[in-house]
């Protein structure tokens, strides 16, 4: 189908440390559990409400898997770009078909950005499937350094 698009963008927090496993072909895969939340004020009660949605994220790029394993931990705030993919498998115990929809980071259209500031003991950098960059001190300047140079 020409003109179709499969792209997911999320900003959320990791609910657990990344899970990295070795596949049969020897390559590594990382699985993340990312939470996104929305909040609103209930019209009838005036009470503040919140709903959290959990997303499964799977990373196949070896370089990105290594970076995630080293620098991304539970609670980290991340921006993720990937594609939706639904897997089907047979449950060995029941024989029933099972399905799982995941956000897959694979190929040049995928990226992961760590959004936490240096003050939170985390490095902030952009990591893409086609360009994996490790943390760079020049990219991680403290925002207070920039305030001195603003003339207003």
Could you give the CA distance from residue 35 to residue 140 in angstroms, rounded to a whole number?
25
How confident is the prediction along the chain (152 residues), in pLDDT tens digits per residue?
Answer: 678 999 999 999 999 999 999 999 999 999 999 999 999 999 999 999 999 999 999 999 888 899 899 999 999 999 999 999 999 989 999 999 999 999 999 988 889 999 987 544 443 344 444 443 333 333 333 334 444 444 43
- The backbone torsions φ and ψ at residue 135, rounded to the nearest 5 degrees and listed phi first, read -55, 140
Q: Where are the domains positioned within the chain?
A: 8-41+48-135
- Do the Cβ atoms of 130 and 105 come closer than 8 Å? no
Provide the token pair at 72.
Answer: 């991304």
Provide the token pair at 16.
Answer: 């657990």
| Nearest one of 113, 90, 92, 114 to 100, comparing CA atoms | 90
C-alpha pair distances (Å), 6 with each of 15, 81, 84, 103, 131: 25, 10, 6, 10, 21
Could you give the CA distance from residue 81 to residue 37 in angstroms, rounded to a whole number?
17
Could you give the CA distance from residue 16 to residue 74 in angstroms, rounded to a whole number?
4
Assigned CATH for 8-41+48-135: 2.40.50.140
Helix (H) or strand (E) holding 147: helix 143-147
pTM of the full predicted structure?
0.71
């Amino acid at each position: 189908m020409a003109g179709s698009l499969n792209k997911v963008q999320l900003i959320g927090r990791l609910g657990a440390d990344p899970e990295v496993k070795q596949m049969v072909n020897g390559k590594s895969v990382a699985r993340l559990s990312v939470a996104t939340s929305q909040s609103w004020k209930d019209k009838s009660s005036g009470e503040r409400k919140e709903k959290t949605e959990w997303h499964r994220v799977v990373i196949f790029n070896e370089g990105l898997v290594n970076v995630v394993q080293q620098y991304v931990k539970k609670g980290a705030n991340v921006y993720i770009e990937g594609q939706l993919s639904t897997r089907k498998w047979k449950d060995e115990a029941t024989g029933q078909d099972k399905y799982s929809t995941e956000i897959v980071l694979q190929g040049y259209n995928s990226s992961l950005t760590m959004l936490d500031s240096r003050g939170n003991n985390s490095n902030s950098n952009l990591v893409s499937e086609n360009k994996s960059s490790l943390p760079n001190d020049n990219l991680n300047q403290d925002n207070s350094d920039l305030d001195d140079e603003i003339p207003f």
